Structure 1
Amino acid sequence: MPSYVIVGASRGIGLGYLQHLAADPSNTVIGIARTPSSVPQIPNATILQGDLTSASSLHAAAAKAATLIPNGAVDHLIVNGVYASDSTAFINPSEFVGEPKESLLLSELQNSISTNVVGVVYAINAFLPLVRKSQIKKVVAISTGLADIKLLEDAEYTGAIPYTTSKLALNMVVAQYAIEFKKEGVLFLALSPGLVQTRDVDPSTLPQEVQEGMARMGAGFAKVYPEFKGPITVEESVPMQLKVIDGLTQEKSGQFLSHLGTQQWL
């Protein structure tokens, strides 16, 4: 009976993991959310309070989870929570000149690092004692293909500096955990879910500059991946991610892979 803890489970990909995994009654599934009341009730899934920016809340969640899981062992820890802001999505690095853009860059980078890097370290450290009790011992941090420099070069994409920078740093953190725990057999992975449609937004309602930025990004991706047809759904992405997680071995521990199990991001 495998156990799963999903950190950042209130919506989007995290909620998709909860729904998919809880559909199998043999799984023990625990979701961690900043506001548990905001998470839809899902049979066979328990929601605990925890915030990526609060180490104490994550340690409290881990202590509670230990009482809910057989032998207190977490087989799979998946850290999905993320901070991403639309405000810097299509601003080139050279455009952060003068106010308010300079202050915006600093605050958004601080927020991104706080959640996407430091928060992931908090979450892993809180649940690591439970992961070490498992025979499976897998820790996955959700990253993004936009942290791959070659993809950005090939697609000629610039933007989302705080988000992409923090996710690149996250990949380094994952690699270092893998090195630290290699002898114990704890496996780590930075996993891109693909380009996933997590919000139901009519593009025509977005500001003109955002629409133009999205069009440029889409054209760049299409140049790199001519077969690219647009975002996939959460329901499509989650099973593909789980297949990669199931295939995670010591040889792949610490790597940065896509939902396809490779470094093809779309």
Structure 2
Amino acid sequence: MHGWDSWIAIGDSFTEGMSDVGAQGHYVGWADRLAETMARQRPGLQYANLALRGKMLQEIIDEQVPIAVAAQPDLVTLCGGGNDIITPGTDVDDVAALFESAVVALRAAGSEVLVFTGPDPKVQPLLRRVRGKVAIYNGHLRAIAERHSARVVDLWSMTVLHDRRSWCDDRLHFSTEGHRRIALRAAEVLGVRVDEDWREPLPSEERKPWLRLRQDDLNWTTTHLLPWVRRQLMGESLGDGLQPKRPELQPYRAEDDRTASV
């Protein structure tokens, strides 16, 4: 049995659960999946998920970190900065300094902190353009974790995430399978018992013909890339007007329309 009685998850779309869609259309994601597993082993687990899609790191620090600091849960999971990194002109060192300020505040409040490195984006045509920035940011994150005794889930080293099937159609967010594997990896780092291994290779897949791949690229450009560029230019966010799905620490209860075990 793990030793966690309360957990607040903070961050952006990664922790909210895009694009792991549940039975009733709600996003599930690695955090809700892991929370269900943890609650089965420790009934009464208090859980909140404050993450919202599109949030920049400063917004996470301003809007979510103070709630976690005030609540002083046993555990806080923090992943942020990805939206900053992919924004042109952003200085990685500045983003890392902001991230460290959040870790310092959470550790000072007495919470254990679990952070996530960025995944290796080499399989995705948009994200691989910032692969170098992600690698530098990851170096900062590992150093921050070491300085402040935080735990680290190393997404970069997860080879299963190098498979396109671990990503959803927008090529920015993880698929249901990607979220499931990440939940298993986070459980391992936290010492939560699970019955599956995140390292298990995905089944072999027949390679698509070149023409089909180009058609997929065209569909992705019109359906996802161009709208993303427009939002960047207009200063809009997918999270505008939305509220966190689990805004307060409450005993976790499995809800069929949102959750699924890891």
Higher helix share: 1
Query: Taking structure 1 as the reference length, what is the TM-score of the superposition?
Result: 0.47
Query: Taking structure 2 as the reference length, what is the TM-score of the superposition?
Result: 0.48
